[in-house]
Chains A and B, each alone.
Chain A
Amino acid sequence: MTSQVSSPAEQADGTVVGEQRQPAGAKDVRRLNRVIIRFAGDSGDGMQLTGDRFTSETASFGNDLSTLPNFPAEIRAPAGTLPGVSSFQLHFADHDILTPGDAPNVLVAMNPAALKANIGDMPRGAEIIVNTDEFTKRAMQKVGYDTSPLEDGSLDGYHLHPVPLTTLTVEALKEFDLTRKEAERSKNMFALGLLSWMYHRPTEGTEKFLKSKFAKKPDIAAANIAAYRAGWNFGETTEDFAVSYEVAPAAKAFPPGTYRNISGNLALAYGLIAASRQADLPLFLGSYPITPASDILHELSRHKNFGVRTFQAEDEIAGIGAALGAAFGGSLAVTTTSGPGVALKSETIGLAVSLELPLLVVDIQRGGPSTGLPTKTEQADLLQAMYGRNGEAPVPVVAPRTPADCFDAALEAARIALTYRTPVFLLSDGYLANGSEPWRIPETGELPDLTVQFAQGPNHTLDDGTEVFWPYKRDPHTLARPWAVPGTPGLEHRIGGIEKQDGTGNISYDPANHDFMVRTRQAKIDGITVPDIEVDDPDRAKTLVLGWGSTYGPITAAVRRLRAAGEAIAQAHLRHLNPFPHNLGDVLKKYDKVVVPEMNLGQLATLVRAKYLVDAESYNQVNGMPFKAEQLATVLKEAIDG
């Protein structure tokens, strides 16, 4: 593998930014195969930006990586408090990795609250870089430190680096015409510079980024770059940091291709645009802002030159209503939301089931019930997606497994919606939405063909020989009804939420017809073609771990650990939750034991137990955070041994 980075760019003012910096080599360099870093600070400290930049540097270096942003729901929680702590964890390696990592090797704590909130996750021996300037008596008391943890011996088990980050930053920027407060704001870039030195990250991308982010404020750009360089130089010169580390590019982890780093929500938005292109239909998004789904609305709104229409509605109901109206008119229609929004949209989803129009319902799941935990992850909307409507209203459900997989999952959801003329749930979650990983950019020729044929003329001959159009006359294979869009002469028809007569679509209250239509709508969904589930079972194991959605990373990491320790365990992961793959029942029956880890109280386990009469065991966590690999490895080991 080679990593191709662009050359430094000369700016209009003659300065060169993006010059690659290299450690001078006076200090020890150690090779590591993987590292987990966590940046933590106040929600106003810019930790998410810092993490994003370190991630970009790492991606362009060619490591495999996985990220976990974790931030409060409040925009600016009270400064210096535990609820106000925002963090960003990044795991990067010279090999293929699957999770943001269990236990950080390095913590950057910008204040006492950040230290207190995160120290519990740090293993003994880990490196902890603290901004000593913020460890004032008052700030420490605010979070319950009676004595300074930097001095009372409580951090003796760690490799502590006390660094006056604020002072050093202000000092580095004294040549700039900035107030002290303005200068202090660059301390996150100082920290980023220091960490970039420690791990030999490429620096040119960040310098370019700062230059363009503050293009209208060149002084601020220059100050941030100066702080960033000062952080790097501090690492290079200070004796406290005696060692720097190399993590080689993940040469074998990636098939050939062009890569970029991508978050789940961005990948999902790109997937929707790609689906619209592949279907040759205009994309229409009807949406109401809600965490953690709003980024998709933002992203799609930037791409109107793809013929994308985004409609920020007055509420969740209008968001899906407008999307359904656009679907009637022949658009690829999408609504994006999170759990509480799905609850509001339920009646319209039911209408879409009855109208049999294509519609994508994207649910970026978050902690529930009710408002719950808006910025934390959970998988507890599965049963809502399956059953949360009045009447028998089956809806296909598709779930991505990693951030980059959100792209493919969006295309797959669109395929089902367009082929079968049905609303489809796309169940992502907060962890996938905000987490990121490398994505091999597909060639456009690799994308699936999603073209659809609108109805063009009559599809039925009456007994008297008259040619007519019947809106509910179905394709015999897919059971999909024709999609006749307004503007097509001769196909004028009326559809609605009242039960329809088979074929004609006219209102019908006939009992036998209703029974038939209910069963037909169910049969259409049950008959959707989905690929068989693949089982990874190299050792003929007796225990199978079955997952769905974003638990793929931690489950797979746990499975690898167990196999490395000589255990036999099989793994299968569901993308299609409705209908299930045809072979799922047979797969489950082959194993003595089936374990289903979920970030809910056992919703998939309930479904497979009901459908296949399998004694699936649930393992559940609903703390707003993804599983840790070690935790799952322990649980699965117990299952194997039990």
Chain B
Amino acid sequence: MADANALLQLVPRAEGKQSMKDFKSDQEVRWCPGCGDYAILAAVQGFMPQLGLAKENIVFVSGIGCSSRFPYYMNTYGMHSIHGRAPAIATGLAASRRDLSVWVVTGDGDALSIGGNHLIHALRRNVNLKILLFNNRIYGLTKGQYSPTSEVGKITKSTPMGSLDAPFNPVSLALGAEASFVARTVDSDRKHLTEVLRQAADHPGTALVEIYQNCNIFNDGAFDALKDKQQAEEAVIRLEHGQPIRFGADGAKGVVRDAGTGDLKVVTVTPDNEADVLLHDAHAASPSTAFALSRLADPDTLHHTPIGVLRSVERPVYDTLMADQLDTAIQQNGKGDLAALFAGGDTWTVVG
């Protein structure tokens, strides 16, 4: 990841040693008691000192929603913008200021409903942004309508007879949008969350991290299948680059490729098929296998939900390319000269 280091080096380093406290703002945190957002905030504040970046060069940009209050609680630069537009605003900031580490905090409604267009275009451009998508599968701030990640048939105030529309799988969506880094983690697993954030921060370009986040008021227990120790063993597929994709009690289950369809499937691992278990390759050039992995999850029961870094590949970063074009233009044409610009083309002189 030579390029990654080069990009991160554009952001000034902190002078002294930082602590979690340095990243806490003086504002009182106002999420509902028990909200999963607290855990994520603590993880991010705790993780920031590991990055060692000057905190005045870190910016958090958010849209609208419960999660989007996040910037107020970070003692960095921050902007709480308007619904769905954070990736667009952050794109302008990151593209014009390569010395900044720009983070977007968004939710399933903000990023995938009203702001879906900006999200996919940020991903395809590969702007140097770290997007944290808090997915609680519900609208919290507007008090409990279904969201674009809610399961079909969700009973909410706006869908008393059940929601009709099929949900997005944010990881599948991001992979389809040409994302160069896609990961998924869970609010309650601090260690896993921190490790994923670290990899996202190191990634040159847009990193999308979907964070399953519990809304204990309007959608409590939405991710219990992944959190309850006994259930989780069967439900969660932990991905680690270079490791065989196995899960379940004692790794009894594994993911193999179906020779007939080319798709992936879950099997009970036996000595006969053990060699067929897929090794996870987050750096695979093609996103096809990562996409197939993302489709293993059952949207209703969450069984076979992969977490970890599904994809992490290097490709040209938008802000770098943009800066390179400016440099090239200066090399080719010299630094802009206003008088020469104005006088371009046919001129004539009037003497008094």
Are A260 and B345 in contact, with the CB atoms below 8 A? yes
Task: Chain B residues near A507: list those with CB within 8 A.
Answer: 27, 72
Q: Is B334 touching A305 in the complex (CB atoms < 8 A)?
A: yes
Q: Flag whether A355 is at the interface (Cβ < 8 A).
A: yes
Residue pair B77, A493 in contact (C-beta under 8 Å): yes
Q: Which of A260, A303, A322, A351 contacts B95 (CB 8 A)?
A: A322
List A contacts of B99 (CB < 8 A): 487
A309 to B330 CA separation, bound complex (whole angstroms): 13
Scoring A1, A305, A326, A355 by chain B CB atoms within 10 A of each residue's CB, the highest score goes to: A305
Any A CB within 8 A of the CB of B249: no
Closest chain B residue to A284, Cβ basis: B96
Assuming the A-B contacts A273-B338, A328-B79, A492-B77, are A254 and B72 also in contact, with contact meaning beta carbons closer than 8 angstroms in the complex?
no
A355 & B79 in contact (Cβ 8 Å cutoff): yes
Q: Considering the chains assembled together, what is the distance between the CA atoms of A255 and B351 in angstroms? A: 8
B342 touches A305 (CB 8 A): no
Q: How far is the CA of A350 from the CA of B85 in the complex (A)?
A: 13
Known: A325-B89, A487-B57. A304 touches B348 (CB 8 A): no
Find A495's partner among B78, B93, B342 (CB 8 Å cutoff): B78
Q: A496 an interface residue at 8 Å Cβ cutoff? A: yes
Contact indicator per residue, chain B 87-115, by CB within 8 Å of chain A (1) or not (0): 01111111111011000000000000000
Q: Give the distance to chain A from B331, nearest Cβ to Cβ, in Å.
A: 9
State the interface size on chain B (CB cutoff 8 A).
63
Segment with Cβ contacts to B, from A54-62, A73-81, A129-137, A227-235: A54-62
User: A28 at interface (Cβ–Cβ under 8 A)?
Assistant: no
When chains A and B are docked, how far (Å) is the Cα of A437 from the Cα of B107? 52
Question: Taking the complex as formed, is B142 at the interface, i.e. its CB lies under 8 A from any CB of chain A?
Answer: no
Min CB distance, A597 to chain B, in Å? Answer: 32
Please tell me which one of the listed residues A60, A205, A488 contacts residue B56 in the complex, with CB atoms under 8 A apart. A488
Q: What is the CA–CA distance of A254 and B343 in the complex, to the nearest angstrom?
A: 17
Query: Are B339 and A257 closer than 8 Å at their CB atoms?
Result: no
Contacts of A153 in B (CB 8 A): none
The stretch of A312-320, A542-550, A603-611 in contact with B is A312-320
A491 within 8 Å of B (CB atoms): yes
* B194 interface residue per 8 A CB criterion: no
Query: B333 at interface (Cβ–Cβ under 8 A)?
Result: yes
Q: A486-B56, A496-B72 are in contact. Are A348 and B336 (CB under 8 A)?
A: no
Q: Does B284 contact A (CB under 8 A)?
A: no
Q: A317 — which chain B residues lie within 8 A by C-beta?
A: 85, 88, 118
In the complex, the chain A residue whose C-beta lies closest to that of B15 is: A489
The answer, yes or no, to whether B180 is at the interface (CB within 8 Å) is no
Stretch of B195-203, B236-244, B260-268, B321-329 with 4 or more beta carbons under 8 angstroms from chain A:
B321-329
Q: Are A4 and B349 in contact (CB under 8 A)?
A: yes
Bound complex: CA of A494 vs CA of B71, how far in Å? 7
B47-63 CB contact bits vs A (8 Å, 1 = yes)?
Answer: 00000001111110100
Interface residues of A (CB under 8 A from B): 1-5, 56, 59-60, 62, 205, 254-261, 270, 273-274, 277, 282, 284, 286, 303-309, 311, 313-315, 317-318, 321-331, 333, 347-348, 350-351, 355, 441-444, 486-498, 506-507
* 6 shortest interchain CB distances as A-B pairs: A496-B80, A322-B92, A325-B92, A306-B336, A321-B88, A304-B329
17 A-B pairs in the complex with CB atoms less than 8 angstroms apart: A59-B348, A254-B350, A256-B350, A256-B352, A258-B350, A260-B343, A270-B341, A305-B334, A306-B341, A308-B336, A311-B92, A311-B95, A314-B121, A325-B93, A326-B95, A444-B338, A488-B56
Contacts A205-B346, A260-B342, A277-B336 known; list 4 others, CB within 8 Å.
A258-B343, A321-B81, A326-B92, A494-B80
